[in-house]
């Protein structure tokens, strides 16, 4: 995903710079008809610049007589150009390309203490692309800014909720664990997260909160429901170009390589041995990738541990037990509470 996005951004910057130069050429054509001397000055500046560059490459120093003379000539031509523009009511930078970002001149990179670093505009474009490709429209509304523990009962009831503490205390502990996950995301030792609990108690919401924070840090995130995930894999393996919904190579690779993969609603997909094998491959591949670079997974499911064990093979469950921290969500259906 990252490589594809960076290529898209690079192309976007190339288009911006070409557009700036095309507009500049149009301006030059018009102004040269009005002030012909400007064209002559531009040619002289260009010729002096080339000659100066050749001298420097040949070993001359900038203070050598010949090189110094060329610098003085260029300065004289530039000052004359500025004066001509001023006399004809043009700004002195009229014959410069008009870039959208003045800091990086639409290259996406700036010199930061001798090191080329991504410009703020590049970082913003990256975040925008990551949001678009994450499949997570929820992050605009479901994030830590809108988190409200008051939707969770403050009274403990183990028989009703299946946990010893109150749902409110439980969700606050889950929130802290999720913040630790975000802060330690780049660490190979940080475990994946497995969310389980009934419908409407905040599993998808919490996954969205995590996604929002990581997206804002420039981390690629991909959200897929389990049925869509397996359909993407199936279409890639058995589909063909021209089929509606055909999954391309990038979409398939992202499942295994994206820095954070969120698999929601695990357990509602049709059962089959092939699906179990695919899930096993995803978990093992991502675990292996995570040893050298961030490749974390969040799984959310409505089914309980016993049903989950019955539903999947022992090999899949052993991976979940070994690779994931299990967080149990409990409480009332928040959607129903909001409706009331």
Q: What is the DSSP string of 33-86?
A: HH-HHHHHHHHHHHHHHHHHHHHHHTT--TTSHHHHHHHHHHHHHHHHHHHHHH
- What pLDDT is recorded for position 300? 95
Mean pLDDT of 14-41: 92
CB-based contacts of 75, cutoff 8 Å, min separation 6: none
Q: In 105-123, which positions are buried (b, 16+ CB within 10 angstroms) versus exposed (e)?
A: bbbbebeeeeeeebbebbe
pLDDT bracket for residue 93 (50, 70, 90): confident
Mean pLDDT of 172-185: 97
Q: Is 110 helix (H, G, I), strand (E, B) or coil?
A: strand
What's the pTM value of the predicted model, to 2 decimals? 0.70
Residue 104 contacts residue 122 (beta carbons within 8 Å): yes
Mean predicted confidence (pLDDT) in 10-15: 92
**Separation of CA 53 from chain center:** 40
Higher pLDDT, 61 or 137: 61
Identify the band that residue 273 occupies on the pLDDT scale cut at 50, 70 and 90: confident
pLDDT at res. 1:
56
Query: Which residues have CB under 8 Å from 207's CB, separation 6+?
Result: 195, 223, 262, 264, 298, 300
Tokens (6 digits) for 67: 């090189």
Q: Which sequence spans correspond to the domains of the chain? A: 134-339
Mean pLDDT of the 73-84 span = 91
To 5 degrees, how large is the angle CA 197–CA 168–CA 156? Answer: 85
Is residue 189 pLDDT above 60, yes or no?
Answer: yes
What stretches of the chain show up as alpha helix (H) in DSSP? 2-34, 36-57, 65-87, 120-133, 158-161, 167-183, 203-216, 226-238, 249-257, 273-289, 305-311, 314-323, 334-339
Which tens digit of pLDDT belongs to each residue from 222-253? 898 998 888 888 888 876 554 444 446 777 88
Q: Is the pLDDT of residue 192 over 80?
A: yes
Predicted pLDDT of residue 245: 45
The pLDDT value recorded for residue 190 is 96
Higher pLDDT, 99 or 218: 99
Give the CATH superfamily of 134-339. P-loop containing nucleotide triphosphate hydrolases (3.40.50.300)
Range with lowest mean pLDDT among 122-136, 140-154, 160-174, 225-239: 122-136
Residue 2: band (very low, low, confident or very high) from pLDDT cuts 50, 70, 90:
low
């Amino acid at each position: 995903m990252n490589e594809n996005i960076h290529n898209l951004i690079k192309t976007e910057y190339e288009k911006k710079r070409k557009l700036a130069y095309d507009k500049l050429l149009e301006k030059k054509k018009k102004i040269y008809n009005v002030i012909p001397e400007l064209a002559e000055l531009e040619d002289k500046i260009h010729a002096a610049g080339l000659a100066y560059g050749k001298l420097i490459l040949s070993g001359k120093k900038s203070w050598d007589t010949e090189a110094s003379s060329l610098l003085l000539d260029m300065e004289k031509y530039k000052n004359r150009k500025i004066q001509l523009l001023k006399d004809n009511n043009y700004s002195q930078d009229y014959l410069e390309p008009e870039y959208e970002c003045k800091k990086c001149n639409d290259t996406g990179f700036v010199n930061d203490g001798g090191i080329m670093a991504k410009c703020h505009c590049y970082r913003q474009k990256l975040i925008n692309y990551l949001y678009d490709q994450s499949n997570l429209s929820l992050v605009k509304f479901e994030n830590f800014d809108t988190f409200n523990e008051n939707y969770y009962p403050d009274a403990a009831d183990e028989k009703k909720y299946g946990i010893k503490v109150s749902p409110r205390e439980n969700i606050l502990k889950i929130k802290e664990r999720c913040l630790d996950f975000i802060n330690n995301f780049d660490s190979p030792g940080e475990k994946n997260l497995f969310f389980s609990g009934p419908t409407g108690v905040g599993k998808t919401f919490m996954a969205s909160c995590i996604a929002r924070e990581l997206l804002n840090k420039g981390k690629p995130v991909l959200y897929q429901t389990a049925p869509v995930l397996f359909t993407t894999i199936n279409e890639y393996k058995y589909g063909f170009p021209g089929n509606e919904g055909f999954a391309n190579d990038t979409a398939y690779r992202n499942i295994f390589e994206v820095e954070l993969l969120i698999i929601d609603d695990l357990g509602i997909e049709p059962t089959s041995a092939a699906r179990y094998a695919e899930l096993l491959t995803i978990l093992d591949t991502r675990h292996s990738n995570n040893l050298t670079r961030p490749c974390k997974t969040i799984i959310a499911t409505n089914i309980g541990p016993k049903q989950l064990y019955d539903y999947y093979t022992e090999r899949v469950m052993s991976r979940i037990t070994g690779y994931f921290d299990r967080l149990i969500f409990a409480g009332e259906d928040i959607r129903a509470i909001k409706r009331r």
